[in-house]
């Protein structure tokens, strides 16, 4: 049992080391989102000039909207970061459209829970941290609908962990450097750790993933699952292939089917001489598609 524990710990450590750069990138984007949400709240005075003696409904709405704005800012920022990570550009319009609803719902629900607990139990630092954890968890669930194969549970777990860590720092900063500056840095910390933890938790517990080698020294990682990872010249493709090289909008898709990993090319590839459109891939398999080399990895295949 001890050997199994050490084996899993060793592989978990290797996974974290292999994905720390991606996690830091997402954390940085989340921090930007947290800062933006804080600045919006300061400029418009939303949710930050209320008093516990105020009536419940105005407090409920104001706090819920403030949490919602924070959720929207972090959600949009993380989606911008994901698009940038995949070398698809920022795609501001698409990221904004996809991030508003899940971000606001996650934030508003967390704010509602916070205000309810403050009213019934009273404001405590412990409850503040828990509420930021709830906000992060709900935000992770919302992002799981937009980031392929993130998974609801992994998104929730990563977001919750990040929200709790960031929430602790939020309280610490407001105590040490004052409310305004502390809130700015605190919300940046919340966004940072939500983004960081989501990526690390997702990487630690995924079963299969795709390594996209753009160049011999540049590579990106995309989780594999039942939701297909798309390759093609379309704006919706996760791995972009140059249209000038004759690749159709959806050239191929890679997904899991039970314990199998399937790479399935579009019917139009028959015109390019490809006879077999459906391939089963295994750990370590590589395929050259356009200027991109893709490589399949599995958790079980990487055990020493």
Greatest CA separation for the chain = 74
Smallest Cα–Cα separation from 198: which of 240, 158, 149?
A: 158
Helix (H, G, I), strand (E, B) or coil at 129: helix
189, two tokens: 């910390």
Q: Is the dihedral of CA 91, 97, 98, 101 positive or negative?
A: positive
Contact (Cβ atoms closer than 8 angstroms) between residue 133 and residue 105? no
Pairing mode, strands 252-257 and 239-240: unpaired
Report the share of the chain in percent with pLDDT over 90: 52
Residues of the chain with pLDDT under 50: 1, 52, 303-304
Which residues, at least 6 apart from 97, have a Cβ–Cβ distance to it below 8 Å? none
pLDDT value for 235: 83
Q: Is the dihedral of CA 47, 49, 53, 58 positive or negative?
A: negative
156, two tokens: 């929730």
* pLDDT tens readout for residues 45-100: 776 555 545 566 777 788 889 999 999 999 999 999 999 998 888 889 999 999 99
Phi, psi of 274 (to 5 degrees): -80, 120
DSSP 216-250: TTEEEEEE-SSSPEEEESSTT-SEE--GGGT--SS
Please classify residue 206 by burial: count the beta carbons closer than 10 Å to its beta carbon, then call 0-12 exposed, 13-18 middle and 19+ buried.
Answer: buried
pLDDT value for 304: 46
CATH of segment(s) 208-302 = 2.60.200.20
- Where exactly are the structural domains of the chain? 2-205, 208-302
In Å, how far from its chain's centre is CA 287?
27
pLDDT value for 180: 85
pLDDT value for 48: 55
pLDDT value for 303: 47
**How many angstroms separate the CA atoms of 118 and 130, rounded?**
12
């Amino acid at each position: 049992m001890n050997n199994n524990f050490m084996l899993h710990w060793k592989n978990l450590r290797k996974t974290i080391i292999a994905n720390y750069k991606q996690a830091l990138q997402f954390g940085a984007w989340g921090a930007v989102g947290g800062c933006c949400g804080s600045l919006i709240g300061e400029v418009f005075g939303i949710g930050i000039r209320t008093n516990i003696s105020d009536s419940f409904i105005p407090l409920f709405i104001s706090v819920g909207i403030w949490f919602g704005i924070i959720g929207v800012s972090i959600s949009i920022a993380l989606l911008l970061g994901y698009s940038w990570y995949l070398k698809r550009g920022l795609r501001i319009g698409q990221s904004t459209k996809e991030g508003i609803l899940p971000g606001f719902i996650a934030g508003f629900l967390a704010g509602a829970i916070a205000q309810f607990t403050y009213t019934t139990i009273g404001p405590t630092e412990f409850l503040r941290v828990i509420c930021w954890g709830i906000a992060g968890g709900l935000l992770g669930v919302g992002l799981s609908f937009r980031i392929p194969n993130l998974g609801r549970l992994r998104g929730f777990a990563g977001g919750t962990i990040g929200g709790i860590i960031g929430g602790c720092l939020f309280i610490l900063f407001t105590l040490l450097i004052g409310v305004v500056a502390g809130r700015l840095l605190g919300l940046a910390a919340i966004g940072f750790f939500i983004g960081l933890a989501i990526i690390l938790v997702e990487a630690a517990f995924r079963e299969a993933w795709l390594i996209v080698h753009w160049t011999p020294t540049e590579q990106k990682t995309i989780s594999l699952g039942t939701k297909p990872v798309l390759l093609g010249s379309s704006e919706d493709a996760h791995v972009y292939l140059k249209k000038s090289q004759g690749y159709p909008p959806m050239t191929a898709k890679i997904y899991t089917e039970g314990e199998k990993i399937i790479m399935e090319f579009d019917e139009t590839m028959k015109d390019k001489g490809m006879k077999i459109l459906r391939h089963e891939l295994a750990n370590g398999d590589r395929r050259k598609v356009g200027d991109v080399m893709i490589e399949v990895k599995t958790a079980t295949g990487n055990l020493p």
